Amino acid sequence: MTKKIFKTPKNRALGHSKVTNLTPGDIVTWKSWSIDLLSESFEEKEGLLLEILEENRLENIVLVAKIMPFGAAEYEFIPLFSLKKSQNRD
């Protein structure tokens, strides 16, 4: 039995289609769970895209963004396919 791999030249890495639209320095948005003592909600977050990294996960390459969320003190790593460029210009 041969091992099947889902890599094709058209789709080199998960998130590759987003690379052409996003560059470091862009303001990006993504959705994330926000949980506190009283409720949990799905909210949109915004931050500055610092770097795009490649990670190997389960024998596949996944593109991950290093982001500094606005109002946060630490970086976050978000899969590139979860991001979109922010439309806010303020």
Residue 63 contacts by C-beta under 8 Å, 6 or more apart in sequence? 13, 14, 15, 16, 18, 19, 52, 53, 54, 55, 79, 80, 81
Q: Judge contact between 70 and 47, C-beta under 8 A.
A: yes
pTM of the model: 0.69
- Give yes or no for residue 32 having a pLDDT over 60: yes
- Give yes or no for residue 16 having a pLDDT over 90: no
Q: Judge contact between 39 and 23, C-beta under 8 A.
A: no
Domains of the chain: 16-85 (2.30.30)
